[in-house]
């Protein structure tokens, strides 16, 4: 896992600590945790933090080594590039470098990606239907006569949402 020096400070050092996150905050600042989720499950989202003790992830994280990479460093500070190198048992090496990460102004999310990210965060609180109505209202804000509907749609309904927000 190749990072610039600033990236190492955030998500790579100390390596042994970053390979063994114990809570959500540890996970948010653990490159190995994010990479292990992506490798094992094909994605990373808010619900991934619930997998912190997952045996598959626990087996992968100690095998993911963040390190400062000169090629990646050359793109900083203009871009927070990153590189992933996978060495297979048979000796094959697979490498991928991203210079402009998804979500940055130079590589912004498409509307479909933005909707998917929003739903991944909001559905558990608002419900799928209300979240869909809210994202439509936000994306159509330039055509709205007022923002009352937006305020209503952004308010969780019912007790389950309150419990979810409280972490129960």
147 pLDDT higher than 90: no
Using the 8-state DSSP alphabet, how is residue 78 labeled? T
Whether 120 shows a pLDDT value over 80: the answer reads yes
Domain 2-106: which CATH number of 3.90.640, 3.30.70, 3.30.1330, 2.60.40:
3.30.1330
Q: What mean pLDDT comes out for the span 158-165?
A: 56
Give the model's pLDDT for residue 157. 81
CA–CA distance, 112 with 95 (Å, rounded to integer): 27
Supply the pLDDT for residue 165: 53
Name the least confident of 66-70, 141-145, 152-156, 158-162.
Answer: 158-162
- Phi, psi (5° rounding) for residue 8? -60, -40
Whole-number pLDDT of residue 1 = 97
The rounded percent of the chain whose pLDDT value lies above 70 is 93
- Please return the burial class of 81, using the count of CB atoms within 10 Å of its CB with bins 0-12, 13-18 and 19+: buried
User: What are the extents of the domains in the chain?
Assistant: 2-106, 109-165
**Residue 101 to residues 17, 31, 74, 136, 144, Cα–Cα distance (Å):** 25, 14, 15, 26, 32
Average pLDDT on 140-162 reads: 81
């Amino acid at each position: 896992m190749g990072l610039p020096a600033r990236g190492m400070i955030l998500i790579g050092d100390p390596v042994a600590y970053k390979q063994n996150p114990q809570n959500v905050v540890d996970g948010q600042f653990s490159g190995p945790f994010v990479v292990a989720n992506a490798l094992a499950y094909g994605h990373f989202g808010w619900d991934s933090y619930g997998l912190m003790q997952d045996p598959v992830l626990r087996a992968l994280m100690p095998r993911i080594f963040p390190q400062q990479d000169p090629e990646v460093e050359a793109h900083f500070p203009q871009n927070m590039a990153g590189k992933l190198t996978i060495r297979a048992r048979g000796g094959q090496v697979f490498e991928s470098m991203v210079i402009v990460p998804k979500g940055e102004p130079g590589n912004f999310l498409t509307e479909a990606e933005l909707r998917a990210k929003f739903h991944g965060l909001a559905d558990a609180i608002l419900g799928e239907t209300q979240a869909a109505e809210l994202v439509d209202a936000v994306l159509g804000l330039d055509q709205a006569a007022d923002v009352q509907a937006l305020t209503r749609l952004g308010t969780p309904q019912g007790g389950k949402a309150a419990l979810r927000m409280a972490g129960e």
